[in-house]
């Protein structure tokens, strides 16, 4: 039996849960060192060292997204400095995006490319046999160079994989805060689309010529949900699939089983091109309470040319009408600071969204993900330069950070991004006629920034109005738990060092 220690930051990672389940299915041991947001750097380092001393793992493993890579690399260096013989293995989205960049870091002994459910078992078996070098998808160091083994093909039978190991994170510090929010499930892998800004753009290149979109059977998905409902009593489900279904018959069967055996509210993602009235009706009857649609830009030509998205505004309007017809709450996703974005594009967005009247408009700034096509588009149009790419490829650039929306785009200062952000929030709160009036008086041309002290409370109010206040309750609960623990530790230290009074 081999021991694998995963070191993870911020959030539950479904990929790690699947890898853990795969390893445990063949008798290996897996433990987790998990650090939610708000953790103290020194305390993190001490906890990692303490965990290694106690667990004595054979491998230390990381699976970061790009914005998490600097944190993961710092922890890998800490481990390598203290345990130079411990093999450090990386995988995940960032690794698949820029494997050569990752392997420039000497603290990292190897990486596994692609989906690793089978190759991690192969890696463990080969290690026990004394030779990891034959492991498919493995890149490793040898004689001062890097050996790059061929990437294993995608797994086609997802039902053959064990259910994700939810215990790994649910029995960690994630438990009191996130676990009571929703159970995150994935009923498929891959995406039938290849938007230029998305990590699926990278996987399209990695698995060129293979069928990337694969799905589990409805029985397999429901089996997982039913088993863990009995264990965790979760109040809702978040389907994290890029697209929940493209096959209407599979969707119907999935929803019939879900209603019968799970029957808690759920949310899911869909693409506007894949939605019709039957889809919305089936979802509503199955228990869907939140329907998520990516739009990103309201200009059809821009979406097609820059983002490789080919839906029409007519399709987006139709989906909105269907959601209202079936009383299904729905949200749009919008990206600010896109390359060559103009004020006119944002004006179109306000007008389109005000016509559609989604329950919520979620927005954030464009995160430049390494290896995606939009990076070269942004360089061509002057949004970034070639000099920015190294920082993007290591997750250190400002525009690699999660949800960063600058108030003003320095390269296009005539756009007051904050004014458009406020208009997006107000669409969820105010009647259509008021938004039309604000557009008529060109509110978006105000010369001052709309401060966070205005935007954040209104955003929270819009979430509460939409019945999503629980998202903020959990964050507040987490903050108070963390603050209480910190204060309690401080009081304990003071009590221990206080002089004894006679």
pLDDT at 411 over 70: no
Q: How far apart are CA 24 and CA 3, in angstroms?
A: 10
Q: In the listed set 148, 175, 205, which residue is the last one of a domain according to the structure? A: 148
Q: Is residue 429 located within the same domain as residue 456?
A: yes
Residue 271 lies in a domain: yes
Range with the largest mean pLDDT of 202-211, 397-406, 468-477: 202-211
pLDDT score for 408: 38
Q: Is residue 29 located within the same domain as residue 139?
A: yes
Greater confidence (463 vs 255) lies with 255
Q: Is residue 246 located within the same domain as residue 132?
A: no
Q: In the listed set 86, 115, 148, which residue is the last one of a domain according to the structure? A: 148
pLDDT at 467 over 90: no
Q: Is residue 373 located within the same domain as residue 497?
A: no
Q: Is residue 365 located within the same domain as residue 286?
A: yes
Q: Is residue 102 located within the same domain as residue 176?
A: no
Instruction: For residue 478, give its domain range.
Output: 469-502
pLDDT score for 92: 96
The pLDDT confidence band at residue 466, using thresholds 50, 70 and 90, is confident
The total number of structural domains that make up the chain: 3
The pLDDT confidence band at residue 53, using thresholds 50, 70 and 90, is very high
Q: What count of other Cβ atoms lies within 10 Å of the Cβ of residue 265?
A: 13
Q: Is residue 103 located within the same domain as residue 184?
A: no
Q: In the listed set 101, 117, 148, which residue is the last one of a domain according to the structure? A: 148
> First and final CA of the chain: distance in angstroms?
57
What does the pLDDT look like over 424-455, one tens digit per residue? 999 999 999 999 999 999 999 999 889 888 98
pLDDT score for 414: 77
The pLDDT confidence band at residue 486, using thresholds 50, 70 and 90, is low
What does the pLDDT look like over 352-375, one tens digit per residue? 999 999 999 999 889 999 999 999
Residue 157 lies in a domain: no
Q: How far apart are CA 479 and CA 464, in angstroms?
A: 19
Residue 159 lies in a domain: no
Please, are residues 279 and 270 in contact by the beta-carbon 8 Å criterion? yes
Q: Is residue 451 located within the same domain as residue 473?
A: no
Residue 153 lies in a domain: no
Number of helices (H), then strands (E), belonging to the chain: the values are 21, 15
Q: Could you write out the three-class secondary structure of 292-342?
A: EEEEECCCHHHHHHHHCCCCCHHHHHHHHHHHHHCCCCEEEEEEECCCCCC
Q: Is residue 293 located within the same domain as residue 199?
A: yes
pTM (2 decimals)? Answer: 0.90
Report the CATH number at residue 391: 3.80.30.20
Residue 368 lies in a domain: yes
The mean of the pLDDT values for the chain is 90
pLDDT score for 305: 97
Residue 253 lies in a domain: yes
From edge to edge, which strands make up the β-sheet containing 266-270? 183-185, 237-239, 266-270, 288-296, 330-336, 360-365
pLDDT score for 500: 46
pLDDT score for 245: 82
Q: Is residue 300 located within the same domain as residue 441?
A: yes
The CA–CA distances, whole Å, from 172 to 9, 10, 168, 263 equal: 12, 12, 7, 27
pLDDT at 40 over 90: no
Q: Is residue 475 located within the same domain as residue 455?
A: no
Q: Is residue 194 located within the same domain as residue 255?
A: yes
pLDDT at 502 over 70: no
Residue 105 lies in a domain: yes
Report the CATH number at residue 52: 3.40.50.2300
Residue 158 lies in a domain: no
What does the pLDDT look like over 124-154, one tens digit per residue? 999 999 999 999 999 999 999 999 999 999 9
């Amino acid at each position: 039996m081999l021991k694998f220690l995963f070191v993870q930051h911020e959030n539950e990672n479904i990929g790690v849960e699947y890898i853990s389940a795969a390893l445990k299915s063949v008798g290996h041991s897996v433990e987790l060192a998990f650090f939610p947001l708000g953790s103290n750097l020194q305390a993190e380092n001490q906890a990692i060292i303490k965990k290694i001393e106690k667990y004595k793992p054979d491998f230390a493993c990381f699976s970061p997204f790009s914005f998490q890579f600097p944190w993961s690399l710092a922890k890998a260096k800490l481990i390598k400095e203290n345990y130079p013989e411990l093999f450090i293995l990386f995988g995940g989205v960032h690794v698949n995006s820029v494997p050569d960049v990752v392997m420039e870091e000497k603290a990292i002994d190897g990486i596994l490319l692609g989906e690793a459910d089978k190759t991690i078992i192969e890696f463990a078996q080969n290690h026990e046999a004394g030779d990891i070098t034959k492991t498919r998808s493995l890149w490793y160091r040898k004689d001062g160079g890097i050996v790059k083994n061929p990437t294993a093909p995608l797994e086609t039978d997802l039902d053959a994989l064990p259910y994700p190991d939810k215990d790994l994170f649910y029995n960690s510090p994630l438990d009191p805060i996130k676990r009571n929010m929703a159970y995150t499930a994935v009923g498929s892998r891959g995406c039938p689309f290849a938007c230029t800004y998305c990590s699926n753009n990278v996987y399209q290149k990695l698995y060129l010529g293979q069928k990337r979109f694969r799905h589990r059977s409805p029985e397999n998905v429901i089996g997982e949900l039913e088993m863990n409902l009995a264990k965790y009593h979760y109040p809702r489900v978040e389907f994290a699939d890029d697209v929940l279904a493209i096959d209407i018959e599979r969707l119907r069967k999935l929803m019939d089983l879900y209603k019968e055996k799970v029957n808690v509210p759920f949310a899911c993602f869909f693409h506007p091109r894949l939605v019709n009235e039957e889809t919305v009706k089936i979802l509503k009857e199955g228990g869907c309470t939140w329907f998520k649609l990516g739009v990103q830009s309201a200009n059809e030509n821009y979406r097609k040319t820059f983002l490789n998205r080919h839906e029409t505004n007519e399709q987006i309007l139709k989906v909105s009408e269907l959601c209202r017809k079936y009383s299904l709450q729905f949200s749009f996703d919008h990206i600010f600071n896109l390359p060559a974005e103009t004020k006119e594009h944002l004006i179109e967005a306000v007008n389109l969204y005000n016509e559609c009247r989604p329950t919520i408009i979620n927005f954030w700034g464009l995160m430049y993900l390494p290896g995606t096509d939009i990076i070269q588009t942004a360089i061509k149009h002057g949004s970034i330069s070639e000099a920015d790419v190294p920082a993007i490829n290591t997750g250190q650039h400002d525009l690699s950070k999660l949800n960063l929306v600058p108030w003003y785009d320095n390269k296009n200062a005539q756009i007051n991004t904050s004014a458009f952000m406020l208009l997006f929030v107000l669409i969820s709160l105010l009647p259509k006629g008021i938004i039309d009036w604000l557009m008529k008086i060109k509110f978006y041309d105000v010369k001052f920034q709309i401060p966070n002290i205005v935007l954040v409370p209104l955003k929270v109010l819009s979430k509460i109005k939409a019945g999503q206040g629980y998202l903020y309750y959990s964050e507040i609960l987490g903050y108070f738990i963390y603050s209480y623990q910190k204060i309690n530790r401080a009081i304990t230290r003071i009590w221990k060092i206080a002089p004894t009074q006679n």
